[in-house]
Amino acid sequence: MKTAVVILALGVVVLGIAVGLAHATDYLQTLKEGSWICTTPEAYDLAIAEQRKPNSNLSDMKERFLAQKLCVYADAEFIEKMMVPYAKIVERRGNKVKVTFIVQYRKSLEFLHRQISRLTFVGWTDASNLEDKEIL
């Protein structure tokens, strides 16, 4: 009887660890370079459709979508400034995910003086734009 209780308790602990690890992967993901993060799934689809047009200009698109407050383009520099826990999934809708993450900007003011700004982004992207981030 005691053996069965111990095995059952051990099974619950292992299951709890497995569930915890499954959720942990959501917290250890970052965006792929070249991803769009948009206010709505529809705005994301619009950005992708426009980017795929043969004569589209990416720099003009980035400026226009940012000015309209629809989307932000994640280039290598943007992704480099993302802070731990990187991209956390807060909602799923089909193949789109709503993520939240913090980006930190540093600006040197004078010698040994700098200004640090942290912005929290929340937006929609395709689930395939997330990749696991290895933490050393």
Number of structural domains found in the chain? 1
Residue 102 lies in a domain: yes
Task: Using the predicted structure, report yes or no on whether residue 117 has a pLDDT greater than 70.
Answer: yes
Task: Using the predicted structure, report yes or no on whether residue 41 has a pLDDT greater than 50.
Answer: yes
Residue 136 lies in a domain: no
Beta bridge partners of 97: 92, 125
SS3 72: strand
Task: Using the predicted structure, report yes or no on whether residue 123 has a pLDDT greater than 90.
Answer: yes
Residue 103 lies in a domain: yes
User: How many whole angstroms separate alpha carbon 103 and alpha carbon 36?
Assistant: 15
Residue 71 lies in domain: 33-127
For the chain, percent of residues with pLDDT exceeding 70:
79
Q: According to the model, what pLDDT value does residue 9 have?
A: 38
Residue 93 lies in a domain: yes
SS3 37: strand
| Residue 72 and residue 123 in contact, taking contact as beta carbons nearer than 8 Å | yes
Task: Using the predicted structure, report yes or no on whether residue 57 has a pLDDT greater than 60.
Answer: yes
Residue 44 lies in a domain: yes
Task: Using the predicted structure, report yes or no on whether residue 33 has a pLDDT greater than 50.
Answer: yes
Task: Using the predicted structure, report yes or no on whether residue 18 has a pLDDT greater than 60.
Answer: no
Residue 75, number of CB atoms within 10 A of its CB: 13
